[in-house]
Amino acid sequence: AQRVTQPEKLLSVFKGAPVELKCNYSYSGSPELFWYVQYSRQRLQLLLRHISRESIKGFTADLNKGETSFHLKKPFAQEEDSAMYYCALKGGSYIPTFGRGTSLIVHP
Amino acid sequence: DVKVTQSSRYLVKRTGEKVFLECVQDMDHENMFWYRQDPGLGLRLIYFSYDVKMKEKGDIPEGYSVSREKKERFSLILESASTNQTSMYLCASSLSQSTNYGYTFGSGTRLTVV
């Protein structure tokens, strides 16, 4: 079975502070991991994929197989980063499992 | 710009009504999905389809059915709406079973059952 845990329902930071949104997974094989974001009144959209090793809007995420984590990080948060963030795992099935989401609020 | 379009943004229905939620994608994607999104519960998969006329149950299929008569259209049906089906419903599609591809989501339909 595969599982994704986002331990924080809500993360509140001030503008310019570093941000780390936690994601832990449970899967015995080689996972494919994703971060999705949903800004207010917008559709859910793919933010980044671990396989791409890319930085999108200043966010990065590194797969740590030893700790089974895929935390999303940004060194300096901006107000426009306020959104709902979902971590997702694709394991043996091509159907991803989503975490419950973390709401990020960046205060001015 | 590729699109997944859900026909209604907001719907209000009465308990016991039969409800149809429509989703259309213009990307020639093989796979289509229906999720419900609830605060604190994240996204839960209701049904998915990997080909025309094919459907598979997700994690919470009870009280729902689906129809995929054409590749571009995937309908979610609430046979007899109940108040616990009040939720945000998200349709998504993906190109293939390859693990490299993410989903493209629709804007969502917020359904209220009274």
* CB nearest to B42's CB, from A49, A51, A99: A99
Contacts of A36 in chain B (CB under 8 A): 102-103
Task: Please answer whether residues B103 and B37 qualify as being in contact, where contact means their C-beta atoms are separated by less than 8 angstroms.
Answer: no
- Bridge partners of A14? A107
A57-92 pLDDT, tens per residue?
999 998 998 999 999 999 999 999 999 999 999 877
A95-106 pLDDT, tens per residue?
888 999 999 999
A37-51 pLDDT, tens per residue?
999 989 999 999 887
Q: Do A49 and B108 touch (CB under 8 A)?
A: no
Q: What is the pLDDT of residue B100?
A: 58
Sheet holding B64-70, edge to edge: B4-6, B19-25, B73-78, B64-70
Model confidence at B83: pLDDT above 90: yes
- Bridge partners of A98? A88
**In this structure, what are the phi and psi dihedrals at residue B85, rounded to the nearest 5 degrees?**
-100, 5
B22-75 pLDDT, tens per residue?
999 998 888 999 999 998 899 999 999 998 989 999 999 999 999 999 999 999
Q: What is the pLDDT of residue A59?
A: 95
User: Smallest CA–CA separation between B55 and chain A, in Å?
Assistant: 13
Q: Do B103 and A36 touch (CB under 8 A)?
A: yes
B94-113 pLDDT, tens per residue?
886 655 567 899 999 999 99
- Bridge partners of B23? B6, B74
Q: What is the CA radius of gyration of chain A?
A: 13
Q: What is the pLDDT of residue B97?
A: 62
Model confidence at A94: pLDDT above 90: no
Q: Do A46 and B103 touch (CB under 8 A)?
A: yes
Distances (CA, A) of A82 to A21, B19, B30, B40, B41: 12, 33, 33, 17, 19
Q: Do A100 and B42 touch (CB under 8 A)?
A: yes
